[in-house]
Structure 1
Amino acid sequence: MRNNVQQTIKFGAERLTIEDVLAVANGASAEMNPSQAFRAKIDRGVAFLERLLKEEGVIYGVTTGYGDSCTVAIPPNLVDELPLHLTRFHGCGLGDDLNHQQARAVLATRLCSLSQGVSGVTHGLLGQIVTLINKDITPRIPQEGSVGASGDLTPLSYLAAALIGEREVIYQGEIKPTSAVYAELGIAPIKLKPKEGLALMNGTSVMTALACLAYKRAEYLVQLTTRITAMVSLGMQGNDFHFDEALFAVKPHPGQQQIAQWLRSDLQAERPPSNSDRLQDRYSLRCAPHVIGAVQDSLPWLRQLIENELNSANDNPIIDGDNERVLHGGHFYGGHIAMAMDTLKTGIANIADLLDRQMAQLMDYKFNNGLPFNLSGAEGDRKPINHGFKAVQIGISAWTAEALKHTMPASVFSRSTECHNQDKVSMGTIASRDCLRVLELTEQVASASLLAATQALELRKIHDQLDDNHMSLAMKTMNELVLSEFDFVREDRPLEQDLRHFMARIQQQHWALYEESEG
């Protein structure tokens, strides 16, 4: 990614940001807060728990069974074995595994939650997660199997298993037995103390990790879609007065105003000659600030939800070592992340739909103000057999339709489970996974749209309808950057590899676009 990776992220000190999680996900190292005050807070929680156990106090998940089995008392001689059983019986995840970046993000989000100092875990457990981050060892975590309350139990069991040397990890690009990697690197597995299995697994860290990744991808897509919209407007010989400052002053959504300002900046150049007699462009151009701006305006609110969850203690029970209380509650419930991701995926799918409509205009000779059929670059007697971006436009339609299909909110599909103990659940992890899929599909749409918009501008140049005087510095720079890696389509050729290449560029956030106004 184009953002500089901070070399070391400190846990247990200041609040972490989405960018801190991204830094760890992309390779930054971790360290614990070395202050005496932080270490003492951790120690007080552990000491309080140990004293309660000696006094035979009743603590959910420590001296009782889990979930609906909370009425089952655990004999004192079996208390130490209970967390091991919790990690093992939850080893039933299915589906594709989280990728390396996503798994590192999970390590960061769980470490952040446990570092709040109210989960009753030891320095040894915190240090073991730091070791995994710094040695670049990530647990193999299947994506499917969480209902988002009691948190991400099944996927987080794979993190717990890695800490104790069980199951598998990803190391040096390969899936290997955890025990073998530990033996190779001289890492000793930890033994979970009575509350530590529950503290590791009973939380929202998988959905929150994925939400952090989704947020940054969405933030970039908003900017890229704005740039593509400017390119399409120029290629279509559209009207730049649709983005006038005075116009947007009377509808004062700040994100919408930001998008209009970026469009004005991109289109601030001499107007080219036009074949269009339309006073008003169709909605996909004229209302672009309103569509993209709705997402831009949601970003501060979404950041607040995600970062509050990130910096929360979200397991159960909470161990208040300072006041020597065990607080039983439901902080594992992932409703805020579910709401954030259901909202974000809808906004991003609308961006895919916006680009799809722009591309439908751009490639249709009936609407594109004199551009060739399907943006074909063929000339003379070669024209009849060349079809340019015809199939790409069909692909854009397909990817958009699939993105729109995924916008059904996951949070409304709560299901009663686990003997009706978990009778209202968040589905936050499914919402996060849905959002990532919508982002991927929209990045495919954006990749194709960027190439088509570039092709349109080149066609205008070839036909002497556009020159450098008609393009702002930002537009000229973007055009040159794309053309440095993409050949103008004069004769039909397979475009799959071009599309994949530019999709990777988008996911790497390869181009600096606008000065960020938020975050």
Structure 2
Amino acid sequence: MIMLTGQSLTLEQMKEVLYQKEKVFAFEKSMDLVKKSREAVEKIVSERKVVYGINTGFGKFSDVLIDKEHVRDLQLNLIRSHACGVGEPFPEIVSKAMVLLRANALLKGYSGCRPIIIEQLLELVNKEIIPVIPQQGSLGASGDLAPLSHLALVLIGEGEVFYKGNRMESIHALQMEGILPITLEAKEGLALINGTQAMTAMGIVGYLEAEQLAYESELIAAMTMEGLNGIIDAFAEEVHVARGYQQQIDTAARIRQYLCDSLLTTVQGEYRVQDAYSIRCIPQVHGASWQALDYVKEKLEIEMNAATDNPLIFDDGEKVISGGNFHGQPIAFAMDFMKIAVAELANISERRIERLVNPQLNDLPPFLSPEPGLQSGAMIMQYAAASLVSENKTLAHPASVDSIPSSANQEDHVSMGTIASRHAYQIIQNARRVLAIELICAMQAVEIRGVEKMASETKKMYEKGRELVPSIKKDRIFSKDIERAAAGLKEMDLRKFIQNFVK
């Protein structure tokens, strides 16, 4: 069981909940803060104080006062009217993350909701009742209003959910689990939808996949080095210490570890004096991507525990301040950085693929073909990789430099962070397929060189890869191989077959 406090949620804990289905519960002291915050809201309502979102309209309607007897209607109308998401739903794992993050944010005790709201959100997480949340429709400021409204619908027994492998009306899933729909009280609708949980949830799932892919990219690159008789000298520790970037130093160290007992790598002057950049500069390029990913991780772990509601309630209700913590700019930047970082892992991978298949750049059979001319071998696999990296270049255009005014110019600058997070996830999927192609080509190259000469660590990767994709003995439908290899990389548990695997 993982305890949520509103202050201490980590990416590692998110991984346990999302991938290992670990249960969650709310810290009692955090719930005490929630109760105090709720008491403050009820006092505001009873005393008829004018506070945004409690007894006023929203956005441009913030100057419209709402009578006490219509406060419940205000919250219900808010959720229904703002549920304007369109397009395909977020992956279930992302929607589950969204529910968990919203509960954690409310546990901070600044939002004025009742404890039952948090309890019900955690019920959804623990019982795998996953809201169907369309991916498109958020500007990434004023919170992820449209996506989070679809999440909030489930609490009131409306909208749809994924439950036990089926997509259904949420009321049916709630009934099957004996959960009663909630009637939203003052401030609660706004508390549920003002936040960055859609972009952050998508970012978390993307980051966890990107982190694994970055590790895999190094191991696959090491195998490519063996297939090309790469020069190991360029990975010497002193070279990278001389520059000073820790991520570059670490990448070089891992490559040296993977190749420490290889009989296929070479030294300067043995076959050639130096390798092309896509080989020689692996630590510099991959290390720079790690720098960006480390930045992304830091921002995600801050945002996971952030109060992103508006208004926020302080000092037992003595201060209720309308601010802008719902603005997604920090995550928008982080997602754009992640897009670029992962796109570059694919870019340099595609250049290594070219070196593996181009007979003008190596001494291997042209296109790794078993019968050059009669059999095309890996020729068009490189085309596919080139297409994917070019698509990534379009997707990597920063979403965060865009903005468009909304709500009659009341909300006149927005982050587009949710678009950035969605595009980052698309780039990760494309990059994984590029690395799958490199893996297929590298395995073929080392077979030609002699598998028995491989390093212990890369040989484990080769054996795992061969469980997914057989050797190329003749031409076949290679798209199936690429998809199997990509799926294998996504599901792979690296620590099971790589010794001393640490960052």
TM-score of the superposition, structure 1-length normalised? 0.93
| Residue 39 of structure 1: how far off its partner (Å) | 2.8
Identical columns (%): 33
Cα 1:220/1:514, change in 2 over 3 Å:
farther
Cα 1:514/1:85, change in 2 over 3 Å:
farther
Aligned to 2:11: 18
| Residue 250 of structure 1: how far off its partner (Å) | 0.5
Partner Cα separation in structure 2 for residue 493 and residue 276 of structure 1: 36
Residues 1:194 and 2:186 aligned together: yes
Cα 1:104/1:335, change in 2 over 3 Å:
same
Ranges in structure 1 where 5+ consecutive residues have no aligned partner: 1-7, 462-466
Residues 1:492 and 2:475 aligned together: yes
Letter in 2 for 1:289: P
Give the alignment partner of residue 298 of structure 1, picking from 271, 292, 300: 292
Aligned to 1:220: 212
- Number of equivalenced pairs: 499
Residues 1:442 and 2:431 aligned together: yes
Contact 1:9 1:31 in 2 (8 A): yes
| Residue 384 of structure 1: how far off its partner (Å) | 3.0
| Residue 486 of structure 1: how far off its partner (Å) | 2.1
Aligned to 2:272: 278
Aligned to 2:95: 103
Cα 1:496/1:105, change in 2 over 3 Å:
same
Residues 1:377 and 2:370 aligned together: yes
Contact 1:118 1:321 in 2 (8 A): no
What CA deviation, in whole Å up to 9, does each residue of 1:85-113 have, x standing for no partner? Answer: 01001122111101111111111111111
What CA deviation, in whole Å up to 9, does each residue of 1:409-440 have, x standing for no partner? Answer: 00111111110011011111011001001101
What CA deviation, in whole Å up to 9, does each residue of 1:22-60 have, x standing for no partner? Answer: 22222524433343x333211111111101111001111
User: For 1:250, what is the secondary structure of its paired residue?
Assistant: helix
Query: Which runs of at least 4 in structure 1 moved beyond 6 Å after TM superposition?
Result: 273-276
Give the alignment partner of residue 122 of structure 1, picking from 114, 117, 122: 114
Give the alignment partner of residue 175 of structure 1, picking from 143, 161, 167: 167
Give the alignment partner of residue 406 of structure 1, picking from 381, 395, 398: 395
Partner Cα separation in structure 2 for residue 155 and residue 272 of structure 1: 52
Residues 1:71 and 2:63 aligned together: yes
| Residue 517 of structure 1: how far off its partner (Å) | 4.5
Contact 1:120 1:319 in 2 (8 A): yes
Letter in 1 for 2:321: L
Aligned to 2:309: 315
User: For 1:219, what is the secondary structure of its paired residue?
Assistant: helix
Partner Cα separation in structure 2 for residue 51 and residue 490 of structure 1: 77
Residues 1:341 and 2:335 aligned together: yes
Ranges in structure 2 where 5+ consecutive residues have no aligned partner: none
What CA deviation, in whole Å up to 9, does each residue of 1:175-198 have, x standing for no partner? Answer: 101112222332100111110100
Q: What are the within-5 Å matches in structure 2 for residues 362-511 of structure 1?
A: 362-368=356-362, 370-378=363-371, 383-461=372-450, 468=452, 470-511=453-494
Letter in 2 for 1:332: F
Letter in 2 for 1:328: S
What CA deviation, in whole Å up to 9, does each residue of 1:123-165 have, x standing for no partner? Answer: 1100111111111101100000000000100000011100010
Cα 1:110/1:514, change in 2 over 3 Å:
farther
Cα 1:319/1:515, change in 2 over 3 Å:
farther
Q: Which moved more, 1:198-207 or 1:237-246?
A: 237-246
Contact 1:110 1:205 in 2 (8 A): yes
TM-score of the superposition, structure 2-length normalised? 0.96
User: For 2:52, what is the secondary structure of its paired residue?
Assistant: coil
Letter in 1 for 2:246: P
| Residue 487 of structure 1: how far off its partner (Å) | 1.1
Q: Which moved more, 1:448-457 or 1:507-516?
A: 507-516
Letter in 1 for 2:74: L
Letter in 1 for 2:464: L
Partner Cα separation in structure 2 for residue 503 and residue 272 of structure 1: 26
Give the alignment partner of residue 31 of structure 1, picking from 11, 20, 24: 24
What CA deviation, in whole Å up to 9, does each residue of 1:454-484 have, x standing for no partner? Answer: 11101112xxxxx53x322101211122123
Contact 1:396 1:445 in 2 (8 A): yes
| Residue 14 of structure 1: how far off its partner (Å) | 5.1
Cα 1:347/1:514, change in 2 over 3 Å:
farther
Partner Cα separation in structure 2 for residue 473 and residue 54 of structure 1: 72
Aligned to 2:320: 326
User: For 1:384, what is the secondary structure of its paired residue?
Assistant: coil
Letter in 2 for 1:354: I
Residues 1:138 and 2:130 aligned together: yes
Partner Cα separation in structure 2 for residue 123 and residue 273 of structure 1: 61
| Residue 13 of structure 1: how far off its partner (Å) | 6.1
User: For 1:26, what is the secondary structure of its paired residue?
Assistant: helix
